[in-house]
Chains A and B, each alone.
Chain A
Amino acid sequence: SQQGEEDPQALSIQEGENATMNCSYKTSINNLQWYRQNSGRGLVHLILIRSNEREKHSGRLRVTLDTSKKSSSLLITASRAADTASYFCATSRAGTYKYIFGTGTRLKVLA
């Protein structure tokens, strides 16, 4: 079974609004990463948060990590039509080197 599960599966918002998507995982992790995938393309790394970090920012992205709840959230502020994509979380279990991806959130930003 997948290590990470994103929620919601799909999200549709207006340009300028904020988009929040969540990721839950099952085991202790080394770190958690978020990726973006535009339709039919390879994934692009957005941000990494380590297990001892609680919050991280990068431009319009804000990631939080709650290891007690085994969950993370990705906030995209002031969304743009170009943010339309699928977003995936990926985790590596503590003590391993393999990254397992979730099923993704499909974000559509309407102009």
Chain B
Amino acid sequence: NAGVTQTPKFQVLKTGQSMTLQCAQDMNHEYMSWYRQDPGMGLRLIHYSVGAGITDQGEVPNGYNVSRSTTEDFPLRLLSAAPSQTSVYFCASSRRDSYYGYTFGSGTRLTVV
């Protein structure tokens, strides 16, 4: 099993560009979330989903969109990249009962110049 796969691993964007960070899981997990990690800030929740067709905002949703058309995929879209969005982005998934916790992807390191 691949677990949670994030692509790309690294990306450099120019201010104002848009892009989509991909996240796919093959564990049939109901819950999926996107986090960003900045130095000294821990992880902050951007958006999350409790199932296909259901998404909700986290702590820092501005500038990001998500959709969940299938159980497996949960892409994160940056609408108009800003330098403040330079960060490491993690996608994670878990079972509904969360008993085994979240399985994290390896992250996407994004730099906006």
A interface residues with partner B (beta carbon < 8 Å): 2, 30-31, 33, 35, 40-46, 48, 88, 90, 92, 97-104
Contact = CB atoms under 8 A, between A and B. Distances in A.
Contacts of A100: 45, 59
A42 B105 contact: yes
Interface residues of B, number: 27
B102 A45 contact: yes
Interface centre among A35, A42, A92 (most CB of B within 10 A): A42
A41 B88 CA distance: 10
Nearest to B59: A100
26 contacts: A30-B98, A33-B98, A33-B101, A41-B106, A41-B107, A42-B4, A42-B104, A43-B102, A44-B104, A45-B101, A45-B102, A48-B98, A48-B99, A48-B100, A48-B101, A90-B102, A98-B33, A98-B56, A98-B58, A99-B45, A99-B98, A100-B45, A101-B35, A101-B42, A103-B42, A104-B42
